[in-house]
Amino acid sequence: MPTETPFAPPQAKGLEAIPARTLPLAFRGTAPGQALHWTIPAGALAADYWIVADFHYDEPDQTTFRLELSEGGEGPRFVMTFSVLPGVRARLQLPLARLDLNRWALMREGALLKRCCYGDRVQPTRVTRVVLALERTAESAVTWEMTLPVARSTEPPRLERPALAGGPLVDPLGQSLRRSWPGRTTDAAEMTERLLGQRQAAQTALWPDGYSRWGGWTAKRFAATGFFRLEQDNRRFWFVDPDGHPYWSAAVDCVRSGTPALVEGIENTIEDWDALRASFPECIDRSTQSGIEGEATFDFVRANLAGAFGRENCKEAWADTIVGILRETGFNGFGNWSDSETASARSFPYVHPLKTVFARTPKVFRDFPDVWHSDWMDDVREFAAQLVPLRGDPALIGYFLMNEPKWGFASQTPAEGMLLNTGAGPARSALAAFLRDRYTFETDLAAAWEMHVSFADIEDGRVFESFGKRARADLAAFSTVMARRFFTDLSEACRKVDPDHLNLGARYYTLPPDWLADAMGVFDVFSMNAYEERIPAEGLEQLHRRIGLPVLIGEWHFGALDVGLPMAGICRVANQSERGKAYRRYLEDAAARPWCVGAHYFQLYDQPYLGRFDGENWNIGLIDICHRVYGEFATAARHSHERLYAVANGDSPPFDGTPDYRPRHFC
């Protein structure tokens, strides 16, 4: 029988306890950092326990919470951030085995969204302090209800058809039923009329004057090779289009005919769900591509397109429509996670992400594979074979090796994480050999690391608890060796299969630390996702000088809370007009940097209100879920794209407006 040990009542710091309606406890807060605190005796928790509490959150604007578990007041601190879908009961659950930090993201479950793990590695039996805090909020006060947390000895059951307050959350078109806003689509007939008009207008849509057939700049020319390539003139780096024109990549990510919402376990949040799934069974998916194996998703965008265009003509009609919208707004490429076949068929420039499965090779820390393992090169060859169908395509700019590797979201380097979590294997043997070259005698290693350690401990699988400064420096140096081997093997195999297209790198989530930057020179382009008000120019310029590569921004966005979605995205502004200003400031600032060759906006459509596979439900699209183009945003984007090449060539200054930025809503 499972055991449940409830926590004692919490101490509230900055939060107000208020009368509860549906769950036993209720609190109101007004600012990030306000929190509930629990003190528990050491040894009360174990690695096979779960911390569980039910939540009900019913504010219109979503909040990010932070759960902390610490070894004493100043000891190591594990952090998990999460959100709760407004208006529906959610079950917070944290498996304490995850305090080892060998996982970054824990998949969502029902209305529990976007669980991400940070901080320090913590031993569950040493935890004496638990904190539940407000992490990110909108301007309004935050109220929520919850049960008292319990420590449970077995995995808790999931909530099925969780309780709702106020009825369903979204209508059959995927729009919020809890909010109203200008531009909300009234019914399917209005949406159909809009889509048919957009398809008609797409027939005459043109890129801005001076654009080549590939979206390059006709005022200048370099040697043509029939493929996209790189060029550095006397002022800056450029992509060069297949006809030889300079090309600066202003693309949109996720250009595809859908954006699935995870509905498993929360189908009761959808109005007329039974009729909707009966009408559009093809929009329900349970594949692993949905993010969680076996979890049902429903694609409102795909259903809306099928309802307007009909099932038989839907894909072709969508492709005509969306290419026209992109041309009309001046976007000149399909960014990552887009429909490559549509782009290729219409000679529209695109990039392509490669899948990093590495099914044969064991992982040493998070998703980092053991690159000394005997199966590694078989995985490398299979990885590179993904390029075979893309060879010879002039519309393909290049390929990304991966996106935001999860081992990067850690305070530990891969080598340190390996010694903290993974037993004996070829990578640990390679580390032992590396340390033997640095320390001739084991006594020297033990003295430098300030612990009892031998080369055999490194090689044979001893799992360590922590490391001092010198040990971490050695492990960072070996992590450079690991990363260089990892990136070099993949890059060389890809060039062998496809020598004509560009290697656009690993789409890192931030500026890489020095130990990692030193391994990235094997790419053609350094790619980074940069969610800031503007690109981090100082750091990127230093990186460019260090590794000599041009820079491509793979993701960035701005959102607002005025169009019915509960979260704005990572970077937030006041409204849709300010989104347009923020787009202009970011894009033109990037284009003015001589080492930057593109910036890809994330993403084409808003995310679904109910949340995608991990729970993101943000207003970040050029287009809403009912295919309404955000006019102020699109107009601003067109203005930037009309002057893009003048800015990139240094002939015009970048946009200098100051958008109304608001505090971040996530991370």
DSSP summary character for residue 654: P
Separation between Cα atoms, residue 331 and residue 634, nearest integer Å: 10
Q: List average pLDDT for each run of 10 residues in the chain, which is 667 residues long.
A: 88 96 95 96 94 94 96 91 96 96 93 96 96 91 96 93 91 96 97 98 97 98 98 97 98 97 95 97 79 81 97 95 98 98 98 96 98 98 98 98 96 97 97 97 97 96 94 98 98 98 97 97 98 98 98 98 96 98 98 98 98 96 98 98 98 97 88
Separation between Cα atoms, residue 331 and residue 591, nearest integer Å: 14
Tokens of 534: 């503007």
Fold of the domain built from segment(s) 4-152: Jelly Rolls (2.60.120)
SS3 502: strand
Tokens of 87: 């208006």
Per-residue DSSP letters for 199-261? HHHHTT--PPTTB-TTS-BTT------SS-EEEE-SS-EEEE-TTS-EE-B-EES--SS--PE
Using an 8 Å Cβ cutoff, are 417 and 407 in contact? yes
Separation between Cα atoms, residue 523 and residue 491, nearest integer Å: 7
Q: How many CA atoms lie within 13 A of 422 on its CB side?
A: 24
CB 469: neighbour CB atoms within 10 A?
A: 9
Tokens of 460: 């044979």
In the chain the first and final C-alpha atoms are separated, in Å, by 38
Tokens of 453: 């350690």
Separation between Cα atoms, residue 94 and residue 99, nearest integer Å: 9
**Per-domain residue ranges of the chain:** 4-152, 188-335+556-662
Q: Enumerate residues 6+ apart whose C-beta is below 8 A from 346.
A: 319, 323
Q: How many CA atoms lie within 13 A of 179 on its CB side?
A: 22
Residue 600, phi then psi, degrees to nearest 5: -105, 120
Separation between Cα atoms, residue 55 and residue 85, nearest integer Å: 10
Nearest to 419 by CA among 489, 372, 474, 483: 474
SS3 529: strand
Domains 4-152 and 188-335+556-662 share a fold: no
Nearest to 499 by CA among 388, 586, 412: 388
pTM of the model: 0.97
Instruction: Give strand ranges (E) for 438-556.
Output: 502-503, 526-529, 551-555
Tokens of 344: 């290729």
188-335+556-662 homologous superfamily: Glycosidases (3.20.20.80)
Separation between Cα atoms, residue 444 and residue 455, nearest integer Å: 11
Separation between Cα atoms, residue 265 and residue 411, nearest integer Å: 34
- Strands 350-353, 396-400: parallel, antiparallel or unpaired by DSSP? parallel
Say which amino acid occupies 509: Y
